[in-house]
Chain A
């Protein structure tokens, strides 16, 4: 079975190809979130992995920083941020010849002022006459930048910019939207499996049909109901309980369906033994069904939780897009449209929003998969 055959090698290569293609996008985002925010918008994330050559434009400080020294008016400063690790290879003083000078050369401006630059970006700009302009002149640098990462973005994002609050909002939406359906549907599924009542089969058929009904069919009427409800009772039409019930409604069919399939697999005789022992339906439910259903509950919990956590449409329609109610996906969507000013927030925000799903995914993969498979493969 462990033969190294040509077909086996080819298979492994092909699989490797798939894996690489699949992982690169996420990897890219992860790297991006750790990069300096200024670099994010101007160079590809892969450049952060190796020492790369980058072209940059810096502006030296202006007349306010000048000092008098050795008979010259000097402005000293540094172009790079501390510990950037960049090493200048060449620089220029006008945009058409950005590589004109090497480190150690003296660059002379049109106004006869001179500037020298060391490889760490420290410059000394001197002029025989006083500097008159507030804005300093620009320097065009070509430098080698080593791989660099920073957690600065995460620090910034978690405590500012509303991502932290959006995280909490999302949790406040997802948790009840998962628990409430679980509670309601477990009783419902129990009754569909073991109680006999008029219309049971029809109800079951309705559930099966509802499995595929797109939630778009419900959006407009429910929104109207919420608006009317809000108008009559003087409360906000868009609210957390509203979202919870909406998610419960949309998740009802699949949760009930999965639970019922599971319950059917429990031995009938055990239920009868309990009846003979004197248990009422509620006793059976609490003392026997629930303890035995924990694996099923886990799988369904994960599926529904992730669905609600990752949802965008329901959160947009049934919640106000204000900081106290906006959810992570909506917040990300806002940031996604920006031109590049907030991209460090976008990348880290995206990753923050993914931490919960990814954690659940890695820690509880087995239950996640079991839930998905249970809904599709029959026996």
Chain B
């Protein structure tokens, strides 16, 4: 459906498409509060990069600094090789989609999308062409003469995206655009955004607190934790090899299980740890700074635990909550501190009060030292 329309867009010159973004030891203070601490990032041209993290981690601030809506206290941000620290937004060739859509309520949808172009003093024909194109992509052609208040949330979101598309920027910036939509709409829009990225082949930087959005949309995920980059990598990298407990616990739903444990012994290529006094397991990961007897945290995702089966290590406990989701069932097992969550088949017959054995496959276990750093 998009092919014929997008041939035109794809024919942009190479020049338009190259837009690396280099963030170099950037710092940001709000008053005395240090919100961005020596952050350095390289964002590849045409990639879809997601900045993710809990509220207050600084992801929106980072995005706004790239946009030019916030000042940078120290460090540089470059777009396409040019340092843009002191350039106003309009000269950075970026477009932004806001969480609250920020449409102009007194203008029609058409005028909203044409606003930037009118300011650039483009010809009427060109404006018409670009706006209609964008409207077709986003399937909002029927609404062009309506005002924002006559539209639903999802439609307004598309208009906001359309406003960004018509400007043909080097970089698209998204600030939690799906947060205000209901769940079903969010899933639908996610798919549309992914398609959009493939077709437009533009650099997109996307901010969200929802790890599902991050996992599904991103080429690269940047996890931010109170102003510093916790880890940067592809979704699967972050899933399989989290650098620290923060990333391990943030990515993946339901959350990774964290079990207090102790190093029983070390060898040249493995560490043996205890599983809550019931068994031990040897994990092929090392940490130079840890020694026998140290406390560590054992991490294992619910989906990797083997219910009522054997593995390299195992443990047993009583089930006190059973969540049936149809395709899977989650079992909550009693243990000290947080319950252990294990995933099993959807039609499992296990019920509350049953004692269940869970197996720990060594290859899927993560180890974290006392400061939260992962064993490699």
Contacts and interface: CB of A to CB of B under 8 A. Distances in A.
B114 to A, nearest CB: 10
Interface string A269-284: 1101111111100010
**In which size bucket is the chain B interface?**
20 to 34
A276 B171 CA distance: 12
B95 A274 contact: no
A181 to B, nearest CB: 24
B104 interface: yes
B104 A278 contact: no
B105 A276 contact: no
Given A275-B69, A277-B116, A288-B104, A269 B90 contact: no
B119 A278 contact: yes
Nearest to B104: A288
Contact of B115 (A267, A272, A274, A292): A274
Q: Dominant SS at the A interface?
A: helix
B102 A273 contact: yes
A270 B88 contact: no
Contacts of A276: 67-69, 89-90, 94-96, 116
B136 to A, nearest CB: 21
Interface in A250-277: 267, 269-270, 272-277
**In which size bucket is the chain A interface?**
10 to 19
A267, A278, A291 — most chain B CB neighbours (10 Å): A278
Contact of B105 (A279, A287, A292): A292
Contacts of A287: 115
B173 to A, nearest CB: 8
A278 B96 CA distance: 12
A279 B163 CA distance: 14
Interface in A325-357: none
Interface in B65-90: 67-69, 88-90
Contacts of B119: 277-279, 283
B103 interface: yes
B90 A277 contact: yes
Given A272-B98, A283-B119, A278 B105 contact: no
A277 B102 CA distance: 12
B88 A277 contact: no
A202 B313 CA distance: 69
A269 B100 contact: yes
Interface of B: 67-69, 88-90, 94-96, 98-100, 102-106, 115-116, 119-120, 163, 167
Can you list the 4 inter-chain pairs with the closest CB atoms, starting with the nearest?
Answer: A278-B90, A277-B116, A269-B102, A273-B102
30 contacts: A267-B100, A267-B102, A269-B100, A269-B102, A270-B102, A270-B103, A270-B104, A272-B96, A272-B98, A272-B102, A273-B96, A273-B102, A273-B104, A274-B104, A275-B90, A276-B68, A276-B94, A276-B96, A277-B115, A277-B116, A277-B119, A278-B89, A278-B90, A278-B119, A278-B120, A279-B90, A279-B115, A283-B119, A288-B104, A291-B106
Given A270-B102, A278-B90, 12 more contacts: A270-B103, A272-B98, A273-B163, A274-B115, A276-B67, A276-B69, A276-B90, A276-B94, A276-B96, A283-B119, A287-B115, A291-B106
